[in-house]
A and B are shown apart, each in its own frame.
Chain A
Amino acid sequence: MPSILRLVLPHGLLLAATVLLYAVASRIASNVGAGRIGPDAWPKAILVLMGALCAWEIVRRLATRPRGAAGADPGEGNDAGPPLHPGKLAAGVGLVVGYVVVVPWMGFFAATAVFLAAFPWFGGTRRPALTAALGLAGSLALVVIFMRVAYISLPLGTGPFRELSLALLGLIGVS
């Protein structure tokens, strides 16, 4: 990605989102009489401030970037953190998003067992027996804590996963 684009990308995206949201805010329906501020006033004021700040930051970054250093990324030093492992990051995001997607289908117990086994594995704990045992035992313990002790109703899943969840709940005495 060209360095200049990378330099202004976060604020550019935020500015674009601000403009779009301002358009949405302009369509907020209200029956407020003339001379009174309506429900759109507060979000619009925030959006104006946010847009101005983004624009200011873009201009400031462009104006203060060092010139003449081809390929150098002046913003990187300030914004970027320690080096990333893209594979691990992708696995982490994938597992978190995947967990959210499969919980309604697999139910809390099964989805959590898989998650608790897979997450450490991708995180670097390459001990299959440990992660598998951790997944099962950890998930079971969490089911007991949340569903039997704290009475939190967690997703049971569908089809065979629902049967599994119900059988487990029967086993630990949750009717």
Chain B
Amino acid sequence: MTALETSGTGTVPAAGAAAPAAGGALGQPVSDHPRRARLRLWGELALFLGPALALFLTFVVYPVISAARYSLYQWNGVEQFEDADFIGLENYARALFGGTDEATKSAFTTAYAEPFQAAFSHTIGILVLSIVIQLPLGLLIALVLNRRFPGRSAVRVILFAPYVLSEVIAGTMWLIIFDPNGVATELMNAVGLHPPAGGWLEDQTWGFWVVFFIITWKYIGLAVILFLAGLSGVPQELQDAAAIDGASWWQTQWRINIPLIGPTIRIWVFLSLIGSIQLFDMVWVLNQGGTTGQYSTIATYMMQIGFFRNDWGFGSAIAVIMFMLSFVVAVFYVLFVLRRDNSDAPRKVKRA
């Protein structure tokens, strides 16, 4: 398995071989004037990186820092920010355990900490379930679609179609399907079953699962397409060799195809993790996380409390918590999981 996997990343040495050549071009300028060359290098860097960097600083870094600043204040978003009260980390305390003030602690726990915990657990639930359910499902579909059969392209297109639809259109469509008098209810009635008592989305236990079903429907296409792309890179010779050795279809998948698309799977898991933490648009269109927040996510709760309740400081604190969560998960994943895919190339460059 390990041996195969290394050969699976067969393009890596080639890239590594190309890298020293490029590095040499930078380190040993063709020009006779090293200073002018360095100046040119900086000029090129400024020209190509500058605009992107300026946009990144203005629209990503600055808002992140602003949100961190707002999160330390009690601010209603109406008064000028200069008039807002500085309350330190109280907004974070309110979100996490109801605040430090004993007089309001129990009230804040019910009103703020519990809805936040609910939103947090829904987000983590979607994150875990995405890996546990969407990964095997996507893999299975991709493996099946990797075989040749009549109508394969049509099935691929149909599976990928939901991913191309905009979230708002897809969400509205599902709202209509899951309407109390909608298609889903009629189907259930037709087969003699009862739809959930509180309504598909509004039922306290069904709501979350219905939303998870919709999310899976929406995003499984991306997983399948990515895995299919990975599978098309697996050399046919290996499959033929396995077939000659008498391996069954299932053995071929398990021992050759799946290990060889490991890097693709790991990248998909990364995208899925970040996407789950930041999940907003689809859930928002589906009635803003539910009338009682039964399928709220951290992002929809942030929107509700910050934007619609004008509790900007608290909303910013939620935003910072969400940012930290994404950041920690991303750093952890890149350091410990994606490392095996990335680390080879730079090491070889250094050796060269």
* Chain B associates with chain A: no
